[in-house]
Structure formats: structure tokens, C-alpha cells
Structure 1
Amino acid sequence: MSENNRLSIKSLYLNSLKKYLFWLYVIVFIVTLLAIWKGGEALKNQQIKALRIDSFEQLNQLASVLESAIAKYQHMPTLLASNDRVKKALRDGFESDINQLNRELEQINRITEASDSYILNTDGLTIAASNYHESASFVGRNFAFRPYFQDAIQGKPGRYYALGTTSNRRGYYFSYPVYEGDSIIGIAVVKVDLTQFEKRFANQHYEFLLLDPDGIVFSSSQPNWLYRVFGELSHVELQRIADSQRYLGKSIEKLAIVYQKPFDEKSQIVDVLENTVLNGTEELQRLSFLRMSRPIRLLDFKISILAPLKTINEEISLWRAIFAGGVTITALLFGLAMLRTRMLRERSDANEMTRHNQAYIREVIQNTQAGLVTLDQNHKIESFNPAVEKLVGQPLAPLVGQPLNVLFQFDKHDEPELSFHDDFLEAANDLGIKVLTREGRLCYSDQTPVPVEMTLCEMQLPNRLSYLVTFHDMTERKRYEQEITQARIELEERVRERTFELEGANTRLRNEIEEHKGTQRELIQTAKLAVLGQLSAGINHELNQPLTAIRAFAGNGLKFLDRGQYEQAHTNLQHISQLGHHMGDIIARFKVFARKGDVHQGPIAVQTAIMGALKIMSPRYKEVDIELVVTEDQDFIVNGDMVFLEQVLVNLLANAADAILEEPNNERRVCIEQTMKENHVVICVQDSGNGLSDDAIKHLFEPFFTSKSSGLGLGLGLSISQRIVEAMGGQISAQNQVNGGAKFCVTLPRFIHHSSLSKTPKEER
């Protein structure tokens, strides 16, 4: 096996080993990270379980304390309702009895530590209260709207929780009816202020929440959590809470819970966003808690404890950081050891590769087809390969130590560029050029010069400066260049000749196009005049009627003037003026229709074009008694030419009339519709004639083809109409209707303003 094959196999083996070790390191690293993460999770779950056990005991203790503290107040309204002084004050209403009752209620509150005690009459009006002497006294206030009053007035014990409308303090209300025999004469109410419980549990290492049946925080160790929803409420539920005036218009918002996951059957992991003040700056922090809840059946409330997980999370993060750091240090030490081993191995391989490369380079230099010459730092020839001797045709051993210009001479056209230097290599050195390419000739002794391309490249060797000169034989290239130059000269001559011929052909073609356009304009004008000839009888009738009326009004006007009836004469002159305008409008419309011209694109109203065509065709339609039906104006604007569009519609209306008159028994009716199809407007002319034959549909738009009776048409109308519509960027089509008759449709592009690109036609109106 050769040295090259052995090195190649060894290189492949090392590359495979490197890839295997790399992926092994990656897998070990990932497995280690997973182990650290899973270990941290296991340790975290173990600590949270211990915290859950402690928190559950604290939750039960907190619930028991709260239940026992509030339970002692639930029978106070019953005791007050049985008090004779309460009944006497409600029954008689003497001021002395009420004053005495106020003092007794105040004393009862002081002894029981209740928030407020007060007595309501059957109308809900407070007649006595423990806070009678305070500015926010309940005396004289009506609480008939409160549910605890409504329950008690029906003979049932009442319970209610709300934000006080007078004291603006949260409390739980107990009520009981005051009986006189079998009749209810009043209501006794005791309010328990929950603030005292918040103060009692405010400095614990956990947060607590007291949630009402709707999930709203009624009491909490965090004041900014009050009136927040620990869940979701519908709009109907929020409206019901607002109507009850339970929270006096407080904004009921959702607690900022960003993460919630069950930990076990009795607890949850909850993350809450909270604004905290650190170093005088308010920051939004994410706080993690273990939440545990249980109901308080006495109040129909639910109490929750939120034990913070910050300490546990910090301990687990520290544990993970320590283990990750240890693994990282171990990996670095292992990597350093592997790197040192690899460096020693690569140094040995590099030395071996250097020896191999040197031998390989020698072989390449000796066998390359390009001539190679090396120069020392003084630009003297040091060595050369056999290819240079092959180019020159004789040995070059005597040239070692000689300057390069003994062997190579550059072309004359390069001399001006380097005329201020005596030597080519000195010019390259002075200009600071690292790679220099020139064309020249190899000439030695009396041999024929060989055209070559010389490339000079600077080689910065470790101990000295050297140059490498490469020579490429350009004999074939020069011959190709001469052939290409001759071919280019011949091609340019042929191009000039062909260009002269094309210019003459283009001139003849432009003349033919102009003649064709003139012929087309004449055909269009001929079609217009043909239509006008067909309409001449109707035009005569349309003008005769106003002329007859004008003569009559003029004669009558003269008689009115003779009699001095100037007002009647003035009226006749007005009629004559109107008839004159009407005749002028008819004549102007036909003058415009008969005008010659080219298609000029622009925005035109479809309805205006239709009405213009109808003014031209109305006399004929009236003459032959054909009904015209025009759909409602849709305010469509198309891109086209008004006069030419009118000509197309006149041709279609004339053809429709001819088709109807071919059969005397046909229904005489023509309908014009305009619809929108994407960004195009479609104008359809439908007649009640006999329709089109299959042969007529195939050749309908061909010049000089007509399906009319002999002598009734030239067969140019539809062909010219098709050219006009296509010149306006549209198309025209024809088809038979299901219920009889033919239908011709003209489709034109809709004109769209930039400001109305997104509007429908109805919106534009």
C-alpha cells in the first residue's frame, strides 16, 4: 500500500473518531444536564410536600380560629331581638327609650368587640345604633335594600357580607326579626368587621385569602388583592354583583395569575404578578406560591393560604448552579487533557504531513504543464521546472543566477505603463504589487519567441523573500483572438447590411400600418353613416313633431300679441325655446355620433353612454313600437371612449331591432343591463328575436358576414364594434338566451380611483 493511501485511511479514521467523541461529549453533557434538572425537580417536590403539610395545619388552624371568632356573633341578633327594651323602643318610639337603647348597644359592642349593632323598623329605617354618637352613624339611614333585612322581614335569620355603604368597611352581617306576639315589629342586626382578623394574621410567613361564593377576595393579608377575582366571572355575574351594591362600585378585576398547575389533590402551584417596591422603585415581580384551600361552612366562604416558594426556588437554583459548575469544571479539565493529547498527536501528524507535502509539491512542480520559475529576493533565477525548457525548446541551466529579463520580455503596449523603470521586477517591487500579470514572450538564444502570459507572485518564506513566476503558453489563444477579431469584423459588416434592410422594411411596415388605420377609420365612419341612414326616417319624424308644434305656437303667439295678451304670448315663446333646445340636442347627438376620430381612453360613465345611444335609437324604436327596458343606474365608471362606446351600443341596439322585426309575431322588447364582474363592467343588450344560428355564432364577428336578409346590412357593424371594444381593453361576446332571443355583452375594465380601491359600487354612491 502506498504512503498516500495509508495517510488517507489514517485521516478518515481520525475524522470518524473525532465525530464519535464529539457526539459522545454532547450526549454526556445533555444527560448530565437532564440529571441535574430532574434531581432539582425531585428535591423541589420533596420540599414542597413538607411545606404543604405545614401549610395544611396552618390552614386548618386559621379556619378554626376564624369560624370560632365569627360564630360567637351569630346569636347576638337573636338575643337583641328578645330584649324588652328593643321591643319597647320599636313599639312606642319614645326618645328616652331610644337613647337608652343606643347606650346599651354601645356597651354591648364594647364587651363583644362587634363592629356595629343596630335596630331597624319594618321599613328598614335605623332607629338605634351602637355608633349613634359618630359622624357616620347608622341612625336615620334606611337599609331596606340589604338582603339581610329582606330575609329577616320574612321571618328568617339573615346573613350577608358586603362593603358598608356608610362606614366603607368590609363586614359580615347577622340579622334576626323582632317579634311582638306573632307580628314582626323590627329587625336586629350585628355587623362583624373582618379587618381585625386581617391584622391578627398579617405578619405570618404566608398570605391568606377569604373568597366569597363568587370567588372575589373579600379579605386578605395583601390589601391590593382585595376585590380581585380568583377565577373567571361572566358579564352577567359581574352585572349581578354591581346591582347588589355589595362592593359600592369597586372595580372587580382578575388577580394577575400567570401560571397555575395542580401539585396534588389538595394544593396548587400558582404564580402571581405583583408590583413591589425595591429601593424606592416600583417593579413588577413574579411571585410563586403553594395554594391550599378549604371551605368555611358557617360563612359559605372559602379560605386559602398562599405559602411563598421563593426560598425553595432559590435553594434549588443554588443547588443546580453548584452541580452544573462542578460538572463544567470537570468537563473543562477533561477537555484540557484531551486537547493536550490531541496537540501532541497533531504535531506528530503535522511533521509527517510536511514531509509528505514536500515530496508531493516536488512532484507537482516537475509534472505541471505550466512553466514555473523561482526568483530570489534580488530577482535572480533560482530554479525552474521542465515545462519552461519545453516551452523554450532547449536547456536553461546557464540562466541560473541571471535576471528574469534575459528569459522574458513583456509586450510593447505595456512599456508606457512602466517607462519610468528600467526593470520590470523593480517596477512591481516599488509599486508594492503582490501578484502581477503581464503578457510577453519567452525568447532565449536564437529560438523563435513564444507568446506567454506571465504571473509574478511574492512568496514570504520563513527565512527569506522569494518570488514565483508562472508562464502559460498563449500560442493557441493568440490564434483564436485573431480568428475572433476577423469574425467580429465580418459580423459587424453583415449586421450593418441587415440593419439597412430592416430599416427599409420598418419604413414600409409603418406606411402600411398608417394606411390600415385610415382604412379602419373609414370603415367605422361608414358603419356610423349606415346606421344614420337606417335611422333617417325616425330622425325625420322626431324633428317634424317639434317643428309642427313650433309653427303652431308661433301663429298663436302672433295672435296673442295682436290682442295684447302678452302673458300667453310669453308662454308660447317659452315653449318654442324649449322645442328648439330639444331639436338642437337631437342634432348635436347625431353630429357627435357621425364624427371621425381615434379611440381616446379615459373615465366615462356607463349610464351616460347608454342614454346617449338611446337618444339616437329612440326615434326608430318609437316608429316600430319596440319597448326599451333599462336597468337602474349603478354609477359604474369604465375606461374607454364615450363616442365609440355609444357607437357600439347603437350598433347592438340597431341589430336587436332588426332581429325583432324579422318575425312580425315576436314580442317587441329590448333590455339593457349593466353588472359588475370582478374589476370589469358588463353591458348586455338582450332582444326578443329568433336568436342566432350555430353558423352565425361561429362567424358573427367576421367582416362582411351578416345573418340579415339580403340588402339589409354590410356585415361590418359587429366586426367594427369588436375592434373598438378591444381597442378600449375589453371584449364583446354573443349567445342565445334560454327563453329565446340573442344576448350581446360588452365587457370593459372598470376605472378605479386610488381612493376607492376598497369600495364597492354601492359604497361609492
Structure 2
Amino acid sequence: MTTSSPSFRDWLLRGSQRRLLWLYVAVFVICLLTLWRGGDALKQQQIEDLNRETQEQLDQLASVVESAIAKYQHMPTLLASNDRVRKALRDGLPSDINQLNRELEQINRITEASDSYIIDINGDTIAASNYRLSTSFVGGNFAFRPYFQEAIQGKAGRYYALGTTSNRRGYYFSYPVYEGDTIIGVAVVKVDLNQFEKRFSNQAYEFLMLDPDGVVFSSSRASWLYKVMGELSYEELSRIAESQRYFDQSIETLPIVARRRFAERASVIEMLDEVSDSRGDSLVERHRYLTMEKPIQLLGFKISVLVPLTAIEEQIALWRAIFAGGITITMLIMGLAHLRSRMLQERSDAIEMAYHNQAYIREVIQHTQAGLVTLDGQRRIEALNPAVEKLVASPLSGLIGQPLTELFWPSETDQTRWMKALQADFDNAVNRSTTVEGTLQIEGHREGVAVEATICELQLPNRRSYLVTFHDMTERKRYEQEITAARHALELRVKERTFELEESNHLLRHEIAEHKTTQQELIQTAKLAVLGQMSAGLNHELNQPLTAIRSFAENGLKLLERERYELAKGNLQQINQLGHHMGDIIARFKVFARKGNVAHTPIDVQSAINGALKIMQPRLKEASIQVQSPQSVELAVLADMVFLEQVLVNLLANATDAIMEAQPEDKWIKIAVDSDDSQARIFVQDSGKGLSEEALAHLFEPFYTSKPSGLGLGLGLSISQRIMDSMNGDLSACNPTEGGAQFCVTLNLFLPDQS
């Protein structure tokens, strides 16, 4: 009975552990199921919120497009009532036609229409606003166009098509020109739709303008033009081809592979998009969009917006990964609870050992008697510690600014080495320090103090400084004298005294080594103190957002004067965002000052580039600099959004300064992105004159700048490099073969499978 009792207890213990294990597994599975269902509910809620926001954006977009086109519908009527138009059509004199061409050109410049032209009753164009261009409509015959046929019958005509001469898409308004009751010609105004595509090309959504047949007539993506979202019959395709509306453009179907109704006016679709990988090869990916449509009554068109759901899906996936990780960690902590007693015991032993170590370190510091003196570039005394005054037993504040020779005299044997050390260039020296013996003595004192002096250079930016360490040698000298006297007097007892002398020498060497270690620690402390000077960089980092705020404010005032309140509201929103951005920068500097860690979170590279370009847009526009930037980068990196935008804004600002200084014929900045399996690279290249050899060697040093005096502090690239280091990234520069300068920002990719 006694022998079986331990086995029975072990069996009970193992059974309890198995039940506890199964309980952990069951709780873990329930948490995962709850996590999955909760993620679906959260995604549904976020798409509903996006649906409401998109509805407002769609209404605003449709209103802007309709009002922008509607303002041109009465222009043909006004042109048809112009006496000079009637006279040119009636008489056909070259002088009248030339004057009419100039007037049409001026009217186009004022109204910002695409083209205005006058057609006679045969369909020949006699005058046009683009008469100076090689693609002029003058002499062209447009009798086949429906807008001409409607106007020649006395009606106001409308039509949309791809221009036969200009090869540009447009919407046409026409009106007959009367001479009495007789139609003698037609006045036509063409509205170019490219202006709307440019205005809405940088939005968070893709937009489509569909004609009554469902063909994409205008889009934020050029690859979607002349395609349909549904299916067209053979008769419909034949009718479109016979109308010559799109010439030889083939009408294809957008690659929509799935469609699901989401709300009354919204659907979720899956579409195949063609993208390029890092090697330039084409890949096909499936992307989900929330799509909504709204008709434009004036034109008979429909406006459709497609909002990508990639960000929401990535956010839900990240949320699930983080929550699942938290559940896993919690379960592991609960499973390791039975080890708590052993960990507490080990922790108690570690704390006791730490207390012993701290007491030992305090004891070493308290018994350190090293005297410290700092010298400026001319080897004059800048500062000294109380230990030096204790060595000479006298206050030394009067020696500040005096040469070191007022305090220290080297021995005769070391005088030559000491003079060479004072004149040495430590940057190129093999030995970074020099140690000599000498005497600390000030005027008025008869006796000096024997010391060992060590001089080395402090690594401080923009100036030279030196540290001299003095160690009291009085005790050592006394030991040497006693040993010499004992050697002569007690030569017979040398063997007995040898052990004691070796022990004394060992202790003395140990103390000297400790003194040198303390000296190196103090040198490192002086280096770290220089970091306090970097707070001056805050002024430089806030300069770009302040410049952008000033530009937005000036534009806002002009827009208010013109009563363009919606655009003025957009400028105010930009100012508000820049204000928050400046607050984030200041907060990041506070975190940096507290030695805090930069948050490494998944950051969308396209969003960071768009944010930096938005800050720099006013300055780039003012400098007439063209920016070539990718529009659909789908990469996520581990970084901090505020810090990454800060680095990109600084690179764009430097590129702008370089271009304005060089004044090349072509002013451009190119932004490119590529990646490999683990890293992403963002390239910023300008058309300036490039970087000199000296600039490449010192580019990232604090306070170094190649700009003219007064145009830079020399802190931007130094701070940017520190930011990249804090994000485990890299910042480099080079001069590409095509000219200019190129900077490369390298960051680690965010890999969801490894999160």
C-alpha cells in the first residue's frame, strides 16, 4: 500500500495536468473563433463607414463635373449671336477670318475651354481657337458629326467623342448661326475632359465616367478607357463602331471576376489588376473595390467611383494577427505559472548579486582620485574638476583661459614627447593618447606635486578639444625611494622583500588600469553630451511644414476673394493637417530626447510618398518643378509614418534647392520604388548639378552644408540619417550617370507571414 501511494499520486497529478491542458486548448480554440467572427464584423462596419464617406465624395464629384461642363453649354449660343461670326460666314474675307481666329483664341483663354470653332453649312471649319497649332481644326470637315447635323437642322447639338484631328476626348456643344431666318453656319465648343482627370487623379479612389452605352469615356486610369463594366451585344458594338465615336479603339470588358451587392447604391467587386514586380515583369493580382454610381442628368453620363478595400483588409489581418499573438502569449504565460516559484528564487539571487555589483562600482568611483582638465584648440585651460585643486591644495579658478604651462611642467626626460603631443594631429596619429610624468605647480607655491599626465583628443563636432588626466604619483615616488633605500641597505634580505615588492607593484598597476578605465568613461560621457546640441535641428524640421502652411494660407486668401469657398476649405484642411503633422514632429523630438524607441509599424509606402509630396506641392509648383512619382505602389515597410515623411520631405526640399541653384533647362524630380525579398528602396533623383567629392565625403555630418551661406543649417541629412538608423534603415547618396544627385532610402519590408 505504501509503495503504490506515490504512483497513485503521480497518476492523479498527470490526470489533472491533462485536464488543464485540454482546458487551455478549448479556451484557445474559442478565442480564435471569436477573433475570426469579430474581424468579419469589424470589416463589415468599416466598409459601411467607407460607404457613407464615399457617397458624399460621389455626390461632390458629380456636382463638380456637371457644373464644370454645364458652364460651357451656352457658349455656342453666344458665339452664334456674334456679328463678326456672321460676317465671316457671310463674306468669307481673310481679314475677318483672321480677326475671328484671334477672338476665338482669346475667348478660349478666358473661359478655359478646350477648343471653339466655326463651321460653314458644308461642314468645313473656317475659323478655330487652335488655328496656330499643327492640329488646327481650320479646313477640316465635320459634317459627319451628329452635333453638326443637329445644329444645321436648327437645334442645339450635343455630342461626345474622340477627336479626329486632336485625338483627344471631349464633349461638344453646338448651335446654329442665323442670318435672318437662314442658317449660315454652326458654332461649336469642345470641352476637354483631361482637366477633370488631372484634378481627381490623386484621390484615394478611382473614378470612371461612363457614356450612355456604358463605355468608359473618362477615368483616373488610362488603361480603363474605352472599356465597359458589363457586356455589350453585337448590335450595340456595331452601332458604336459605325458612329466613329471612338475610331479604331477596341471596346473591351473590364476584368471584373466577382460582384456582390453591398447596399442600395453600392457593390463590392473583385477585379484583376496588372502590376509590375521588382524585376519589371507583369503580374496579375486580384483587388477588391467598393463601387458606387450616380447619373449626370445634363450629359446623360454616369459617374462611378471605385474605392480600394486593400487598406481595410490589411488592417483587419493585422488586427487578427496582433490579437492572436496576444492570445498565444497569454496562454503561454498561464501555462508557465507553475514555474513561478523557481523564477522568484532566481530573481532574488539576481537582485542580491546586482546589489553587490552596484556597491562595488560605487566603492571604485568614490576612491578614484584622478584630476581632469579640458583644453581648447589653442591648448588653453577651459575647465577643471575639484580633484585637481585637491592635488595642489589651492583654488585654480584664476587659471581658466591660461596656457597649461601655468599649471603643469613635464619632467626633463619627457619634455620633448610632451611638446610633440601638444602639437600632434590625433586624427592621423597611430597612438590616440600620450602619457608623461611631471609636476603640478602654481606660482607662489614652493613645492609641486608629482603626477602622471595623459593627453588625448575629445571627438567634438566643429571644434577641437583635449582632455588631460592627472594621477597623483607622490605615493609611488615614495615607494620607489623606499625600495631603492632598502635595496642598498638590506641587500642580504632582497629575496625576502621581492615578494612584497612584486605585490606592491601589482596593486599599483591595477590602480593605474582603473584610473585609465575611468578616463575612457569620462571621455565617452563628454561625447554623449554633444547630443544635446542636436535640439537646434527642430527649427530646420519645422521649416518645411511652416512654408507649406504659408503657401496654403496665401492661396486660401485668393480663393476667398474669388468666393471659391470649397477650394478654400480644402486649403484650410491642409493647414490643419500640417499643424497636426508639426505637433507629431515635436512629440517625436520629445520621445527622441527621452531615448524612446521609434514605433516600427506597417507603413504604406505610397501613403508616405503622397504625404511628403502634399507638403512640398506649393513649393514645387512655385519653382515650376515637374515631379515624376509612382501612383500605385503596393508595399508596406516597418517604419514610423511621421519620421518617414520627415525624411522624404527633407530629400525633396534639398532636391528643390539643388535645382534652383543650378537652374537647368529641364527642372524635374523623379521618385522611384523597388524592392527585393526583404527590403524596399525609395529613390529621389533631381536634375541639379550633383554632389561634389567633398560633399559625398561629409554629407551626413552635422552642420555640414554645400548650400550658399544663409540657406541651410547643415542638419537635415544628419537628422535624416539618425531617423533611418532608429528605423533599422539606411540613407545613401550618389551621382547617377545621367546627371544630378540621387538619394536612396532603404527600409525593411513588412512581411505579414512573419508578423
Structure number with larger C-alpha Rg: 1
Does TM, scored on the shorter chain, surpass 0.5? no
Q: TM-score, normalised by structure 2?
A: 0.41
